Chains A and B, each alone.
Chain A
């Protein structure tokens, strides 16, 4: 019942949109009718063209995420765990954080040209800071009482890290992961619209040249879909890794 209500508004908007387009009130140059978008999606997927673009974009997003995310995790763990590393690195990183990654585009083009490494660099930079900051904060906010308890039970070094500090920081780290997964697509869209030979951004920019609004819309919807997928994935990770946490349990498990 509640699920149905949640989808009521999008359904109404979709029907109104279709009616407006069909009656000619809404020009196809502004917005194509929903059915045309569906048709465009269908022909693109039949030709296999769309899957090629999706694969290229997803690969860019994930490899950038893996690179920037793991670097952020390592540095966050380091500065969170050691005061020396914090004084050495943290203020520098906080300074860099204030530069919007997209402001670096001119420099990135000069450095890397317009090939894959430029996109990889931008995505990595974009996902870096949310994960870094949350990891740092997560490590610092681990309950000191638990650390003291574990030490008095003889835990130290890696066992202490594995059993107490990392799991304690995990909720915060996952918040950072979720945030950066959203940001990952934003950066990628911009990077791909600037210059690319493949990818969803390339597809939409190409379609714009030929006034194919239906294909442009397919591209936009694809981004939304992929973003939602990434979000679901991180939600799933939270459910599994934080299943001990009363705040993250599935609704049916709580009842």
Chain B
């Protein structure tokens, strides 16, 4: 076990104190509750940032199968502008697939997605210029320096300066000239975060970006993501298998089970959150109970990304 993890376990045990001001909400199954919540959702943003800088996302009847295997069925979801939503679920439950559909990396079999009420404005391959995704691996180009990785897809003129500014925001400006190979895992993810932020996304999709990091780096990264989200006001969707991470960051936690959204929990704890905070442990326990109550998923590993057959096209 990692030495830090022991320490963190101790913190977690200390967190089991009575709740102070937790708003009790009974878990309600079904879609109307989701739509209702999204409409009334209060934004926790800085005053100087307009709430409109995030994209409103809605899906209707979204379904996806890989071959005979059904992954998602009839997903109705509404995400308010600037909202931070976490999606949890067992491995292989389809949470990453939902994110890939939102990102336009895969196409849905049925149903549709609207952004700000309109069907997607996108290029031929389905990518929206105001949507950025962070993967579990940093996916940095090893043959480009850190700053050139961040500047990927920017216009040559002024792109470098914007990349340096983004690197400064994640605290890595002094590593701008290094190769990605010499960075640690956490630093690579910070570069990937800067690369996503430099495009000023209105929707940031996070596909377990902290899954491979050690416990201490994870907490640092969570704080960084939270502060950047508060500063920029983008809509964030985080897929994670870590329930406490979901509670630490999200306004709303969704549980996907049996191809559907099985549970939708609003988290109204003051930010920045810590595990010792009143109510945190209760939320965590309730979510864990729900995850564990669900029968083990019969589906195997999540699908790998579609092979890029014609790379020239």
Q: Are A144 and B141 in contact (CB under 8 A)?
A: no
Q: Identify which of A82, A142, A161, A246 contacts B310 (C-beta below 8 A).
A: A82
Query: How many Å from the CB of A243 to the closest CB on chain B?
Result: 8
Closest B residue, CB atoms, query A165: B311
Q: Identify which of B129, B181, B305, B309 contacts A83 (C-beta below 8 A).
A: B309
Q: Residue A188 at the B interface, CB < 8 A?
A: no
Main secondary structure of the interface of B (DSSP, over half): loop
Q: Quick one: CB contact mask for B106-147 with A, threshold 8 Å, 1 for yes?
A: 000000000000000001010101001101010101111000
Q: Identify which of B104, B153, B180, B308 contacts A153 (C-beta below 8 A).
A: B153
Closest B residue, CB atoms, query A80: B311
- Tally of A-B residue pairs with Cβ under 8 A? 79
Q: Residue B21 at the A interface, CB < 8 A?
A: no
How many residues on chain A are close to B (CB under 8 Å)?
Answer: 32
Residues of A within 8 A of B308 (CB): 144, 147-148, 151
Residues of B within 8 A of A150 (CB): 141, 152-153
CB within 8 Å for A152 and B181 given contacts A146-B141, A161-B312: no
CB within 8 Å for A152 and B103 given contacts A164-B141, A244-B142, A245-B142: yes
Which of A139, A144, A155 has the most CB atoms of chain B within a 10 A radius of its CB?
Answer: A144
A146 and B125 alpha carbons, distance in the complex (Å): 16
Residues of A within 8 A of B127 (CB): 151-154
Q: Are A154 and B129 in contact (CB under 8 A)?
A: yes
Q: Quick one: CB contact mask for B249-268 with A, threshold 8 Å, 1 for yes?
A: 00000000000000000000
Q: Are A244 and B103 in contact (CB under 8 A)?
A: no
Q: Are B139 and A163 in contact (CB under 8 A)?
A: no
Q: Are A146 and B139 in contact (CB under 8 A)?
A: yes
Q: Are A81 and B305 in contact (CB under 8 A)?
A: no
CB within 8 Å for A81 and B311 given contacts A151-B125, A163-B152, A246-B181: yes
Closest B residue, CB atoms, query A139: B311
Q: Residue B105 at the A interface, CB < 8 A?
A: yes
Q: Residue B307 at the A interface, CB < 8 A?
A: yes
A139 and B310 alpha carbons, distance in the complex (Å): 11
A245 and B181 alpha carbons, distance in the complex (Å): 7
Q: Which residues of A contact B (CB under 8 A)?
A: 81-83, 139, 142-156, 160-161, 163-165, 167-168, 170, 242-246
Known: A154-B153, A167-B144; 8 extra A-B contacts, CB below 8 A, are: A81-B311, A146-B139, A147-B311, A153-B132, A155-B152, A163-B144, A167-B143, A244-B144
